[in-house]
Structure 1
Amino acid sequence: MFRKPLTLTSTHKLGGADVKKLKKTLEKRFGASEDDVDLLIPKKSELSLAKVASPSRVHIVIADGHPIVYDVSGKGDFHLTVFALWRVPTLLGPPIALVGAPVSRFILQGADLMLPGAVVPRNASFPAGRVFAVAVPGNPMPIAIGEAEMSSDDVAAARSGGGKNGGKGRFLKILTSHRDALWDVAASQPSRPTLAPNAGFGKKVVSAVDARGRPVEESEGEEDEEEDEGEEEEIAEGGMMSDGEEEEDVEGDGAPPAAGRSEAAAAAAAAGVAAMTVSEDASSLDMDALIDRALLQALKHSVKDHALPLLGSALWAQHVVPCRLAGAGRTLDVKASTHKKLSKLLKVKSKLGWLTVKEDKHTKEMAVTSVNRAHDDIMNHAKHETASDAADGVAAAAEAEASATPDEYKGAAAAAATRDDASGSKPAKLTLSKVLKPGSSTAIRAVFAAVNESSEGGGDDSYSYSYPYEGLYTAERAKEVVDAYVALRGLDRGGDGGAVAPCPPGHVVLDPTLCDALFKGVLKKGDVYPTSMSASDVVAAWTNRFHPQISVRRGGKEATRKGELAPVRIESGTRGPKKVTKVTGFEAYLIDAVELSQTLSAKLATSCAVSDLEGQNNKGKSEVTLGGNKVTEACEVMTSWYGVPGKLIEKRDKLKGKR
C-alpha cells in the first residue's frame, strides 16, 4: 500500500481531547488493554496528524516522529504500522514467520508474501482478511504487516495438494513494511527518531539477532547431511511443497538449479517471491545463454508497451545491454553468438513466440512491434541482478561513504544531521531548478489516468514508471506524459484503428480527451477546436497547462515555491541615532535566521539581532539586523557563503555608502 512516496499536505498537533479519543478508539478496534495503549502512546509524547495529498484520504498519526497508526478513509478506519508493533509486538497476535531471513529482502523491496515463503502453524484457524504481523525467525520485532488472502482451510487444502494452485498462491498482501513510504515519513521528521528496533534491521535484509541484539550471521560451512535435514524440516514446516510433489525448476529458464547459487536466491525462488536471482556461475554461461537471459529480463521488466514499436538497435542498446547478467565478466556481443546478427536473433525469438517483429520501412531495420508477456519463458523468468544494478550499487556505496549525512535520515532530519556534523562549516550547496505542476483541469487528469493505467500492466515493478498527477515535473518529463498518451492512442498514426483520418508526418491527431486537455478554458467561446497539430505545438500547448514552480534544495532540505522566487532584500537605514542594515527574505533559500545572524556577526565583526516580521503575510518570517551600513558586505556573504545568485538579491543603500 505504501510502495510509492507520500506527499504530506498539512500537519497539526493533536490536543488532549483528541488523544483521549484516539486511545479509546485503538482499545476498541484492536482489543488492546490500557497498558498496551499507554505503551503505544506514552504520556507527554508529541502527537500530530498528517494528511496525505489528494486524491488519497489517508491520515497518519505521528508520535515522537514515528507513524504509529494510519486512517485509510479519514473517518477512524485505523490500521497499525510496524513502528506501533515495535512498541507493542503482541497487538496483532503471534506473527507469521518467514522460512528464512533472506526472504525479507524481497518483502523490503515491495513484494507480497507467497504461501511457500511463510511458516503457517498447522493448528491455526483464521479467516481470509485476517491481519498478521510478519517476522524473521530469530528476530522478535516484526518487519511487515499483511492481510491474509487465504483462510486456514485454503492453506490446509494447498498443503495437501487439493488447492487449485498446488501449494502456491499469495498468502499475505503486504500493507506496510520496514523501509516503505511510511518509513520515509519517519526518516523525514526533524526529531530524528529511531528508525530500526535492533541491529538486525539492515538496508536490504532483516536478519536474526542474538541475546545482545547483534545480527547473527548464518553459517555456511555445514555438512551436507545436516543441510539436507534442515531443508526437509523447513519444507515440512513452511509448506513449500505438498506431499508427493516433485521439486520445481526455479531458475526460470528451463535449466536445473545452479549448484553454487547463493542462499538468498534459493530462498527467493523457493518462497515464490518475484525478485532478483543471483547466479554465481554467470561467467560459465555461453554467449547465447547470456543474451537470452538479458533479453528475457528486458522484455519482462524494461520494455513497456507504450514504447513499442521499437527498433532492434534501440532495444539492444537501451534495454538488453543494461539488463545483462552481473558477474558474467564479459560484454554482450551478437557476433560472438550463434546468431551472428541482431536481425537474425530477433527473427529466431519471434519464431519462439517471445515477440513479434516487422521491418521498418524507413531504416530497413527489424523493429519489435509487440511482446508476448503471456509466454511461458517470459512469465517464468526470475529477475536477476544486472550489471547496471551492480554498477549503481558500487556508485551508491561510494557516495554514501563520502557523504557526511546519515543515509537513513531524509528531509529536515537529514538537514539537522548535516548541521550537527558540520560544526560551523560552510552550508550545503544551494540548488534552484524550474519545475512544473499539472493544472487542475479534469481533462489533464484524464490524460495522466490513461497513461498510468497503461503502464500498470507493464510488469511486476511497473508502478515505478507511473506519472503521479500530484507530482512535480521537469519540462522533459512533462513531455514524456503527452508523448506516452499520443503513442498509447496511436494519434501520430491516425488514431485508434484508423478511425481518425491519417495526419501528415510530424503531426498529431487530437482526440477529444487530448483536445480538452490542451484547449479547454483557453479558447474563447465560439472558437473552433483544432483537429490536428504538429508534435512540437502539442508539447508546447501541453506544458503551457502546467503551473511553473521553483524547486529549492540545500543539502537534505527541499521546498517548492510558486512562481518566481522573491529576492533577498538587504537595506540600510537608521534606528534612532544608529546606522543599521536589515536582511529579509532569506527563508525562501532555506537559510535559518539564527544561523545567518551568527554567520554575519562572525564574518563582518558586528552585532546582529533576529526579530519576527509583523503583518498577516509575514508569518514565520524573520529579519536579521546588523550594526552599521553593511549592505555590500552582507551581499557578498549571501552570494559566496550561501550561494544565493546575485540577481536574486535586492540591495538598497539609503545611507549612500555612509558608515
Structure 2
Amino acid sequence: MFAKPFRVKSNTAIKGSDRRKLKADLLAAFPSLSAEELSELVPSKEECNVVKIYAHKGEAVTVYVLHKNPLFFELEKQLYPTVYVLWRRPTLLPVFRTWAPVLQKLIGGADLMLPGVVVPSCGLPDVNQGDCCAVTIVNNRAPVAVGKAAVSRSQMQSSGMKGRGVCVLHTYKDYLWAFGDKSVPPSLPDDESEADGTDEENCEVGENDQEEETEQSLEQLSSDETVSDQARCIKELSLAEQEGDNEESSSYQEDDNQDEQKTPQGEMDALLLQCFLHALKSKVKKSELPLLTSTFLRNHMFSCCLSGKQLDIKKSSYKKLSKFLQAMQQQYNLIHVKELTKGVESIVEVDWKNPQLRSFSIPEEADAESSVLQDEADREVSYHPPEITTLYSVSVRVEPLFLDANKRKGTTMNAAEVRSIITEYVKKNELVDENNKNFVTISPSLCDCLLEKSEYQEVEALKWDDLFSRTLGRMQECYQLVFPGQAPLIKKGHIEPIDISVASRGSNKKVTLIKNLDVYGLDPAAVATALQHRVQASTVLHPVPGTKDKVLVQVQGNQIHQTGSLLLNHYQIPRKYIQGLDKAPKGGKKK
C-alpha cells in the first residue's frame, strides 16, 4: 500500500477526546496490551499528531504519529501497528517467518506467498482470514512487514502451503516507514526455544544448529544444503506469485541480498559516484575547464543518469553538490575545485590519469545521453496540450429561439453555430428591419428571451452584434477539452488558467506556487520533478485549500520565469491560459 508515494491531506495535533478514543480502540484491537504498554505507546502528555493521507491508489488512511514516527494506521476502520511499534512490541501480532531475500519483494509491493513461509517446528500461528499479522525474516524476531492473513491457518494447511498467505500493507523501507526517522530493525535473536509469550512457547529445541548453518550460508552465499532449500523455497514462491498475482515479474535473483543491504541513501551515493565518473570520462573536455560546478551537474551528470533512475543530491548522504565534490577531491584526488568568483565554485582541473577514473567502465545500458534524449522525446510524445474550445449551453430562457433547430435545454454549441441558428431564426420570422438591414426587429419571443424588464417598452430593435452578444450572454458558458486519443470532455463555466504566484514563507523566504495544472491534463508531480531539475531547488506538493483532490506545486524561490518557460516551450500551453507571468523578476544590470 505504501510502496509508492502518498499524498498528505492534513496533519493536526490530536485532541484529548480523540486520544482517549484511540486508546480504547487500541485496547479493543490488541487485548494483549497492558495499561502500562498502552500509556507508553500513546502517552497522555506528549504531542501526538493525526495525519490523513491518500495512498497512491486513492485509499484514505489515518496515521497516528508520535515523535515524528508513525505508530498506527487506520484503514477501513481497522487499526494496524507500524514496524516502529512492532520493534518495541515484537509479540503484539501473530508472526509469519520468511527468508531474507523475500523482503525485497515485499518492499516492492508484493504479498507474502505461502511457499515463502518458513514453518517453525510448532506450526503456523493460529489466525483467521483478515486477522492482523506481522512478517519477520529468519534469525531476527524484529518484524519487517505488517498485513492481514489472506486465509485462515486451516486453509493454509489444506492448500498444501500454496497461494497467498499475507496481504502486505506496510513494510520496512516503504514510504510510511520513510515518513518516520528511518531507523533500522533491531537485532532480536530468533530462537524458537525461547518462550516470549508467543505461539512458539511450546516449540522444542531442535533447529538451532540448522538456523546457525542457514545464517552462515546466507552471509557467505555458499552452496550448502540449507541455502539450496532456501533457493528452492524462493523459486516456489516466485512461481506462486506468477500464478496467484499475475505480476510482471516474481523471480528472485542472487543479488537481492546485496540490494537489501543498501539503504536508499547509500544507493543514491552510489548513483552519484557512477554519474560523476561517467561524466568525467565521457562528457567533460579539457577545453571546457574551468567548468562551473552547477553546469557540470546540470549538463553532464544528469545526462549520465541511467533510464529508470533519478539523481537527487538531497537524498544522498552529502545533501549538497559542494560537499560531494569536496569529497571527490579529498578522497580520490580526481578534481580540483576552486572559488574563482565569490560564492561561485568551478572545476579547474581534472586528473584524467587517475586509476579510479581509468578503471571505470561506462554502463552498457547507456550511451546515457541518447537514453536521456530518448526519455525526453518520450515525455514530449506522452503529453500534448489539449485543444480548448469555448462552448455555450442552451438555457431555459433562450430555449424558444433554438426549438426550430431542434436544440433543447443543455445542448452545447460553439459561437459560430449559435450565430448561424439565430440568423436563421431572424430570417425565418422576417424580423430584419426593412428600412435598415443592420437592425433586427424585436418580436415578443426575442423580447422575453433577450430584454430586461426595464427595456420592454423602450427597445424595439437591436443591432445584429448586440443580438448575438445578448444571446450568448444568456446561455451557460462551457468549455471543451480534447486530448489526443481521448473522447472530448465538456465542463461548465470558464476554464481556469494555470495560476503562477509568489508567496512569502518564514524569514521572508520566497516560494513559487503553481495551481490548476490538472485542468490541462498535467501531472503536478511530473511538473514538480521537471522544475526541480531545471532550477535545482526543492519542490513539494500541497493540497489546494477548500478542494478535495486538487494539489498545487510549491517551488523554492521566485521561479516564475523558469516555470513559464517550462509551460510555454516544453508543454506548449498557450500563453492566454497562463496567469501570473507578468510577476517574473525583472533582470537588470548589477551596480
* TM-score under structure 1 length normalisation: 0.38
Q: Which structure has the higher relative contact order (CA within 8 Å, separation 6+)?
A: 1
> What is the TM-score normalised by the length of structure 2?
0.42
Q: Which has the larger radius of gyration?
A: 2
